[in-house]
Amino acid sequence: MKKKILILICAVVVMTSCNSEKNKTTSKSDTAKLQIETPDFSADSAFSFVKSQTDFGPRVPNSEAHKKCARFLKESMEKYCDQVIMQSFNAKTYDGNKLNCWNIIASFAPEKEKRILLAAHWDSRHIADHDPIEENRSKPISGANDGASGVGVLMEVARQLNLKNPTIGVDIIFFDAEDYGTPNSENIPGDWWCLGSQYWAKNPHKQNYKADYGILLDMVGASNATFYHEGISSHFAPAIVSKIWGVSYRLGFGKYFINEGANTITDDHYYINTLAKIPMIDIIHQERNSETGFYPYWHTTQDNIDNIDSNTLEVVGKTVLSVIYEEK
């Protein structure tokens, strides 16, 4: 996960209530229609998918762990999805390095016109530049939460979609080279974050690719995570924000999905909105009282599997699946 833009966007949440006599006498059948059947989602399976990634070590582009994890993700998604595409590309970094990268694109029912795009980044940061111990700040991070958690949730989503096919098409993209941005101590002009999503937005895997909307997952595995209305999401796709937070509330997850605005974050969804012109929102853990605006282990060597909470993975996964299965 990348830098935070210090602009507070207040999302306006409009909640309407009808007080007519007709609505006061809601029938049992009407009440049933308002309820959501919670889909199957295995928190243990999602956690296992997260751990499988971190077991390779830091997934920094050009590393052996990165290559091994790419192979694991490809082969795993081929078990569940109708089509998997490895989109290879080279990326130039802020420090002049050339990265060999892959966006991994897995699709259900690629022939269907109505589609939802789900995404997360699968690389991990090359430096722990926010680590409290100075000697650790040049080390790569495990990225259990910042990267692997979103991928793990979407892998379990894919497993469930394979068991119960959705009525619409679904594409899952694992973006590469998201977290190779400038160090905290440097200010180098340029778009150095989210290199994989920038590439895909300019070079989609399918000509004239379209999706009704997209959902990005980033840092969705910490205990007691709080997901606010992120600023770019509220600006480009307010209706999708309302839809997803509404579904989560009805599932009983209001403790996690907070109906309040929060900071604007430079994340993969920015380029999907601005370059690919697909409305995409970001489910991302933000903390109001944190110095960085994120969870305590953000961009530190402590972002490891020991700090992943399967309960949070389950909350996010069930919310995403419910949104998908509600689509017709």
Give, to the nearest 10 degrees, the angle between helix 310-326 and helix 43-54. 120
The runs of H, that is alpha helices, within the chain are 21-24, 28-34, 43-54, 64-80, 150-163, 195-202, 231-236, 238-250, 268-274, 310-326
Distance, CA of 292 to CA of 306 (rounded, Å):
21
Phi-psi region of 101 (alpha: psi -120 to 50; beta: other; left: phi over 0): beta
Percent of the chain's residues with pLDDT above 90: 86
* Mean pLDDT for the stretch of residues 246-250: 97
Q: Tens of pLDDT along 265-318?
A: 999 999 999 999 999 999 999 999 899 999 999 999 999 999 999 999 999 999
- Determine phi and psi for 137, rounding to 5 degrees: -70, -10
Spacing of C-alpha 131 from chain mean position = 23
Cβ count near 258 (within 10 Å): 16
Distance, CA of 66 to CA of 75 (rounded, Å):
14
* Mean pLDDT for the stretch of residues 133-156: 98
Cα distances from 51 to residues 54, 55, 142, in angstroms, run: 5, 6, 10
Domains and CATH numbers, the chain: 4-12+40-326 (3.40.630.10)
Whole-number pLDDT of residue 16: 35
Are residues 166 and 186 in contact, defined by beta-carbon separation less than 8 angstroms?
Answer: no
Q: Does the structure show a pLDDT above 80 at 171?
A: yes
Whether this prediction's pTM lies above 0.85 is answered by yes
Whole-number pLDDT of residue 1: 57
* Mean pLDDT for the stretch of residues 108-112: 97
